Amino acid sequence: MHLHLRDGEMLDSVAPLSAKYFSGAIIMPNLIPPVTDKDMLISYRDRIYNAIGDEVFEPYMTLFFKTDYDYDFLKSIRDDLTAIKLYPAGITTNSESGVEGFDIDELKPILDTMSELGIPLCIHGESNGFVMDREAEFIPIYEKLATAFPNLKIIMEHITTAKSVEALEKYENLYATITLHHLMITLDDVAGGMLKPHLFCKPIAKRPEDREALLRVALSAHPKVMFGSDSAPHPKHTKEAPGCAAGIFTAPIALPLLTELFEKHNSLDNLQNFVSTNAQKIYNITPTKKQVVLEKGDMDIPLLYGDVVPMMAGKKCSWNLITLRA
């Protein structure tokens, strides 16, 4: 429920890897330039369909949040849209034209309209403070929005902290996505030894107790949390560089690794809800059913998919994807 497919050659190379194993995904709009009007959204969706060929896969499209979207525009695009994604300005990859300051009066017209049209708001919730504190510093903004717009579904994207789990449980209209990598790693894995650029992402991985809190709600398939991989491909040379791009590529390996993780914690019965059913209820979507068969047995994680290094490149996973039935 949170996927970066990019555009052009990268789209052609990564989209089939998701379409093969998933029946749909919420597609992020942070292209250059970001997806901000109907033509851009429809033509991007067409390019995604083109890239996936014959696979059955629903790209659930999002717009890049702008305060000047009005009722007529959102009404005209409602049926082609699943959510709107809000980025604070400059907080991550291609987010320069995001929101500055969070003035409720300025946000009110569009958030009232979204509430009325039933369009969920997905938020990259980070302040521009100290990197380890950014998510926690954003929580008062989540609380302000959740209280001021009780009929707006707000998705706290890729939560990484125990504090976000607390906020999620406190406000009825807050929901959250959790990535695979934030369930697996802490900051120690990124920077505790040799620096690992392929584990560098935003929000940065946090402390062991934060990961524990995320595991608790993910492994129990808390009904307000959904799997959102935030799989974010960057070409190898932009990761293995002095200025390393933020983003971890997990799309093709997410299911076997999640299965391994849920098995390790005796929670396999909850995997279906975490990966799929919860999201269908929260977003009120019904993707075409696709059956994915996982088999116990070693899978070698490739060193590269095209020009992109996946998480755990060269390592093994104890579950393998063997058969797919539509």
State the burial class of residue 269 (Cβ atoms within 10 Å of its Cβ: 0-12, 13-18, 19+). Answer: exposed
For the bound state, the minimum distance from the C-beta of residue 248 to ligand DOR, rounded and expressed in Å, comes to 7
The nearer residue to Zn ion, 58 or 230, going by C-beta atoms, is: 230
In angstroms, the CA 45 to CA 24 distance is 12
For the bound state, the minimum distance from the C-beta of residue 231 to Zn ion, rounded and expressed in Å, comes to 8
Q: Contact, 156 vs 164, CB < 8 A?
A: yes
Q: Which of residues 92-121 bind ligand DOR (CB under 6 A)?
A: 92-93
Q: Which of residues 241-260 bind ligand DOR (CB under 6 A)?
A: 246-247
For the bound state, the minimum distance from the C-beta of residue 97 to ligand DOR, rounded and expressed in Å, comes to 14
Residue whose Cβ sits closest to Zn ion: 230
For the bound state, the minimum distance from the C-beta of residue 249 to Zn ion, rounded and expressed in Å, comes to 12
With b for 16 or more beta-carbon neighbours within 10 A and e for fewer, the 284-295 pattern comes to eeebeebebebe
Output the CA torsion 20→26→29→30 (10° steps). -80
In angstroms, the CA 60 to CA 81 distance is 7
# of chain residues touching ligand DOR (CB under 6 A): 10
Residues that bind Zn ion (CB under 5 A): 230
DSSP bridge partners of 231: 3, 248
Q: 112 an active-site residue? A: no
Unique residue bearing structure tokens 């009780």: 150
Residue 179 contact, options ligand DOR, Zn ion, none, Cβ 5-8 Å cut-off depending on partner type = none
83-86 β-sheet, strand order: 24-27, 58-64, 83-86, 121-123, 154-156, 174-178, 225-227
Helix (H, G, I), strand (E, B) or coil at 291: strand
Q: Which of residues 15-34 bind ligand DOR (CB under 6 A)?
A: 30
- Token pair belonging to 59: 């790209």
Helices (H) and strands (E) in the chain, counts: 13, 9
The nearer residue to ligand DOR, 30 or 177, going by C-beta atoms, is: 30
Question: Computed over its alpha carbons, how large is the radius of gyration of the chain?
Answer: 19
The nearer residue to Zn ion, 203 or 290, going by C-beta atoms, is: 203
- Using CB under 6 A, pick the residue from 198, 202, 224, 239 that binds ligand DOR: 202
With binding defined as CB under 6 A, does residue 239 bind ligand DOR? no
- Using CB under 6 A, pick the residue from 85, 124, 134, 290 that binds ligand DOR: 124
The nearer residue to Zn ion, 135 or 230, going by C-beta atoms, is: 230
- Using CB under 6 A, pick the residue from 1, 3, 4, 255 that binds ligand DOR: 4
Q: Which of 39, 133, 230, 307 is catalytic?
A: 230
Residue 246 contact, options ligand DOR, Zn ion, none, Cβ 5-8 Å cut-off depending on partner type = ligand DOR
Relative to beta strand 316-325, strand 291-300 is: antiparallel
Which residues here bind ligand DOR, judged by CB under 6 A? 4, 30, 92-93, 124, 201-202, 232, 246-247
Residues labelled as active-site residues? 230
